[in-house]
Amino acid sequence: MKTIRNSILCLCLTLGAMSCNDNFLVETDPNSVATSNYFKNENDVLLAVNGAYQALRNNNGLAEGSMLYSEERSDNTGRNDNQSNAGEPFQFNDFSLLPSNTYLKTHWLALYQIITRTNLVLDGIEKVTFSNATTKAQYQAEAKFIRALVYFHLVRKWGDVPLVIKPLSSSDEVKANTAREKKDKVYAQIVADLTDVVNSSLPDHQPVANKGRVSKVAGMALLGQVYLTMATTLDAANRTTNLNQAKTYLTGAYEKRTFGLLKEIAYTDVFDVAKKSTNPEIIFQIVYKQGDINYASNIAVSTQAQGENINSLRTTTGTGGNVTPDLVKEYEEGDLRKDFSIKYANAANVKDYFITKYRDVSAAAGANGYGGNDWILMRYADVILMLAEVNLYLGNDAAAIGFLNQVRERAKMPLYEVAKEAPAYKAKFPTLKMAILHERRIELAFENHRWFDLLRFFTPAELVTYMGTKLQADFGAAKISNFGLKDYYYPIPFDEFKLDPVKMYQNEGY
């Protein structure tokens, strides 16, 4: 829990100020303020909440640059370079991750630093008298959503993790909390936080001026996903109960959509920087400011390969965002999502597919590539496919197929009833479950969902078998054969483990 020693014990919080729309996460005061003296009025609380949102933009945490920690762990993307940065990034998709990996440690710290900010908000808010109780309740709900979101990432990546829900003000408190908590207790806290969010006075959807802030629909969608994950990975005894809870909250989010069927929203519009604030499919996003050297998005540039200009006007070098041949082969013929999401680069040092899903070639982004892409954490296609999954598990295949077909129809692909009769499709996806997993892979590629989908669709032993069916030639230098039971979770970073080897016990296999 070194993050507690560094971030909580010193009782400092970097606060950011937000205004509307593009200025939403612009930090105006980078100085740290002692929290013991900070919370005096409502605006102080607002700035602290904004600081929690601002922390989400850390690429070592959950922001657009965080693909290393999830997407590159899956079979969608990865690296062939096992030399750069001491080969540490390569360890993630080579399944040779060491507890001493500094990128892993940085990710752990970034996630707990976000939690630190939310805990300070929830503690400090009680020191302030509000003129409107609704305002206080909404700030609390926003902080709880962010905390729950981060703990959801932690528990799925590491299993048992330290559970800290208040600021720690002494070395004794820090020591007492330097211990892993069983994952069922972590999930209970996540559920408690999100239940408060969905019962709060937050609006169902945030207005354009507040895009990037938490809404009640975001709380419902995330709580539904949490229950679905618990049903499939945590508690077999309560599987049906958790599935029904998942259905309730995912349906609640779905029924509050402001559009009819998914086909009303063009797939390309979801990622159009000119429509990011008004697209009704987007539920929750991290906001970036186009054209701003400090707050612009970098993903269009960072994923573009040498010799290409489809993503950005900026000239780039290197291979861009790597795409595995394994994923390329999974696209069905004629799928419009393939042409939008990936492209083959023919430069001499590339000769490979790269990611084109995130683009900004506007004059506002310019030759420097200061893009306006927001990083989408939640959108309705994800909710719809989770509803397909839930209904499948509950035995309602007709409902599951109906939701699956919404996504396929938007992509102008044959409906499932037709597709499943085609020999090639049937051979690859012989069951409805595998068809849903396939659709999630294609629809949500490069959005950091794939690894968590694999954990949810397969038991650890099943996942080893599934990964073992893949061809090594489709993964370059990274050895897919390295994948084993230990890879279901990340190792606890060594610096955290050594603080207390008993209470911070290492995951099996490391």
Q: Give me the residues paired with residue 312 across strands.
A: 360
The answer, yes or no, to whether residue 6 has pLDDT greater than 90, is no
Q: Checking DSSP bridges between strand 12-14 and strand 32-34, what pairing results, if any? A: antiparallel
Enumerate the H helices of 159-238 as residue ranges: 171-176, 183-198, 216-233
Q: Give the confidence band of 11 by pLDDT, cuts at 50, 70, 90.
A: very low
Per-residue pLDDT tens digits for 415-456: 999 999 999 999 999 999 999 999 999 999 999 999 999 999
Alpha-carbon torsion (262, 266, 267, 273), positive or negative: negative
What six digits make up the tokens of 131?
A: 């003129």
The answer to whether 461 and 127 have CB atoms below 8 angstroms apart is no
User: What's the pLDDT tens digit per position in 163-174?
Assistant: 999 998 888 888
Residue 24 has pLDDT above 80, yes or no: no
Examine the pLDDT at 32 and tell me if it is beyond 60: no
In sequence order, what are the beta bridge partners of 32? 14
pLDDT at 27 over 80: no
pLDDT attached to residue 396 = 98
* String of DSSP letters for 101-132: -HHHHHHHHHHHHHHHHHHHHHHHGGGS--S-
Query: Does residue 103 have a pLDDT over 90?
Result: yes
Q: Per residue in 224-276, pLDDT tens?
A: 999 999 999 998 899 999 999 999 999 999 999 999 999 999 999 999 999 99
User: Is the CB of residue 35 less than 8 Å from the CB of residue 194?
Assistant: no
pLDDT tens readout for residues 39-94:
999 999 999 999 999 999 999 999 999 999 999 999 999 998 899 999 999 999 99
Cα–Cα distance, 122 to 312 (Å, whole number): 40
Q: What is the pLDDT of residue 170?
A: 82
Beta strands in 229-374 (DSSP E): 282-286, 342-345, 352-355
- What pLDDT sits at residue 33? 52
Whole-number average pLDDT of the chain: 93
What proportion of the chain, given as a percentage, has pLDDT over 70? 93
pLDDT bin (cut points 50, 70, 90) of residue 19 is very low
Return the SS3 of 65. coil
User: What is residue 34's predicted lDDT score, i.e. its pLDDT?
Assistant: 56
- CA distances for 480 relative to 66, 268, 353, 453, 475, angstroms: 21, 32, 19, 18, 7
CATH tag for 1-202+458-510 (out of 1.10.1200.10, 1.25.40.390, 2.40.160.40, 3.40.50.1100):
1.25.40.390
> Which is more confidently placed, 250 or 24?
250
pLDDT tens readout for residues 140-170: 999 999 999 999 999 999 999 999 999 988 8
- Confidence (pLDDT) at 175: 87
* Residue 204, pLDDT score: 98
The three-class DSSP label of residue 360 is strand
CA angle 125, 130, 134 (to 5 degrees): 90
Q: Is the pTM of this model over 0.75?
A: yes
What are the structural domain ranges in the chain? 1-202+458-510
Phi-psi region of 189 (alpha: psi -120 to 50; beta: other; left: phi over 0): alpha
Output the six-digit token pair for 457: 């669709």
Q: How confident is the model at residue 36 (pLDDT cuts 50, 70, 90)?
A: low
Residue 82 burial by Cβ neighbours in a 10 Å radius (0-12, 13-18, 19+): middle
Determine how β-strand 342-345 pairs with β-strand 12-14.
Answer: unpaired
Nearest CA-CA partner of 253 in 217, 292, 200: 217
Instruction: Round to whole Å and give the CA distance between 72 and 89.
Output: 9
pLDDT at residue 3, as a whole number: 45
Average pLDDT over residues 309-324: 95
Question: Mean pLDDT across the stretch 211-221?
Answer: 97
| 168: its two tokens | 């720690």
Residue 28: predicted pLDDT: 41
Indicate whether 2 pLDDT > 80.
no
